[in-house]
Structure 1
Amino acid sequence: MSAHPVKLGGVHHAAYRCKDAKETVEWYGRVLGMEYVSAFSEDHVPSTGDYDPYMHVFLDAGNGNVLAFFELPNQKDMGRDENTPAWVQHLAFKVASEDELLAAKQHIEGLDIDVLGPTHHGIFKSIYFFDPNGHRVELATDIGTDEQYAELKRVAPLMLDEWSQTKKAPRHADWLHEVARKEHNLG
C-alpha cells in the first residue's frame, strides 16, 4: 500500500447536520461524555463563497476522532433520505468491553432514551439509539478472535465478488451467524 500517492492519517472529522447546535453539543456530552472542543461560524461558506450562515461544532469522540455537526438556519428543515431505511445510516462508536456496553445502555436508558440491543453480530455486540436530530447512533464492542478477524479479511474479496454478481448475501461467513445463534440460545 505504500506505493499509493495518498497517505491517510485517519479521519480528521465526520460532519453531519443538526437541528440545534447547542442542543446537540449538550446531548452528546450528557449521553456519551463527548467533550465539545471547538466551533467555526461564518456567514459565507469558505469553500464556495455562498451566503449560508452556519455554526459548525466539533466533539471529541476519543482516540483523535472528531464528530462535527452543522446547524444551517437558512436551509429547509432537516430531513433524511426516505429511500434509505433508518437503520442503514448511523454513527458507530467503539467501547472497550461488553461490561462497558451494558453500563452505557443502562446510563442511556436512564436518560429516557430508547435503546435497542445488545445485538450480537458474531464478532462484535452493539446497542442502538437515536440522537435529537434523528441520527441513529451505535455503540459497539469487539468480541471476536484474531482468527475470526483474519478469516473475515480473507473472505472479504470473495464475498464482494459474489455480491456483485448475485445481489444476495454470500455464505462465506455463515459461521458468524452460528456464533451469535449459539450464544443467544445459551444466554
Structure 2
Amino acid sequence: MSDQAAHPVKLGGVHHVAYRCKDAAETVEWYGRVLGMDYTTAFAEDHVPSTGAYDPYMHVFLDAGGGNVLAFFELPNQQDMGRDENTPAWVQHLAFKVADEEALRAAKAHVEAQGIEVLGPTHHGIFKSIYFFDPNGHRVELAADIGTDAQYAELKRVAPLMLEEWSATKKAPRHADWLHELARKEHGNA
C-alpha cells in the first residue's frame, strides 16, 4: 500500500461528487425535503468548459454536511437517463453518515413519512444502514457508525490480506467473519 505522507499528491478531501439527474429542480427540492440538504450553487452552460462540446446543462450543488458536496447535472439534449444494466441496483449508491442509531431511526421514520420505501436498518457489524431511491433512480444509504476503535483497527489490519486473497480466489475472504457474527447476535440468530 502507498505511503500517503511521501506521496506527491496531497488531497484535502472530496471537493464534490457529481451524478446525472432527470430534472434539476425536482432533484434540488427532493434532497432538501428528504435529507435537509442546502442548495448552494448552480452553473449552467451551453458548451462544456473542459471539452468545448455543445451540450447545454444545469449543474446544481447541494451541501451534504461536513464540507461534503453532492452535485447533479441535468442534460436535456442527451438520451434519457439509464443505468448500467450489467451492475445490480444495490451496488452503485450514495452513502451519507448520520450521528448514531437514534438519528438513523429518526431518518427512517422521516423518509417513510415522505412516502418513500425504505429498506433496513441493515447491520454491517461496524455500522447500520437504511436504503432508498431518489427520484433519479440513484440508491441512497444513510449509515450510523457503531464500531469500536479496536474493530476499525482490526479491519485496517486485515484489509491487505483480504484483498490479496480475493484477488487470488475471487471468493469472499473469511478474515472478518466476526462482523457477521455481531449482526447475528443482535438479531438473536447466534
For this structure pair, what is the TM-score category when the shorter chain's length is used for normalisation? over 0.9
1:144 aligns with 2:165: no
Task: State the partner residue of 1:84.
Answer: 87
Which stretches of structure 1, 4 residues or more, deviate above 6 A after TM superposition? none
Out of 11, 16, 39, the position equivalent to 1:13 is 16
1:60 aligns with 2:63: yes
Q: CA deviation at 1:76?
A: 0.1
Task: State the partner residue of 1:41.
Answer: 44
Task: State the partner residue of 1:174.
Answer: 177
How many residue pairs match? The answer is: 186
Equivalent-residue separation in structure 2 for 1:154 and 1:127 (angstroms): 27
1:122 aligns with 2:125: yes
Task: State the partner residue of 2:78.
Answer: 75
Structure 2 letter corresponding to 1:97: D
Q: CA deviation at 1:44?
A: 0.1
1:100 aligns with 2:103: yes
1:109 aligns with 2:112: yes
Identity %, equivalent residues: 85
Structure 1 letter corresponding to 2:43: F
Equivalent-residue separation in structure 2 for 1:125 and 1:57 (angstroms): 29
Q: CA deviation at 1:184?
A: 1.0
Structure 2 letter corresponding to 1:21: A
Render the CA deviation track for 1:20-47: whole Å, top value 9, x for unaligned. 0000000000000000000000000000
Q: CA deviation at 1:185?
A: 1.1
| SS of corresponding position for 1:163 | helix
Render the CA deviation track for 1:54-84: whole Å, top value 9, x for unaligned. 0000000001000000000000000000000
Task: State the partner residue of 1:133.
Answer: 136
| SS of corresponding position for 2:184 | helix
Q: CA deviation at 1:157?
A: 0.1
Q: CA deviation at 1:90?
A: 0.1
Equivalent-residue separation in structure 1 for 2:183 and 2:145 (angstroms): 13
Q: CA deviation at 1:116?
A: 0.1
Structure 2 letter corresponding to 1:124: F
| SS of corresponding position for 1:81 | coil
Q: Which runs of 5+ in 1 are unaligned?
A: none
CA RMSD of aligned residues (A): 0.6
TM-score, reference length from structure 1: 0.99
Q: CA deviation at 1:3?
A: 1.3
Structure 1 letter corresponding to 2:138: H
Equivalent-residue separation in structure 1 for 2:99 and 2:28 (angstroms): 23
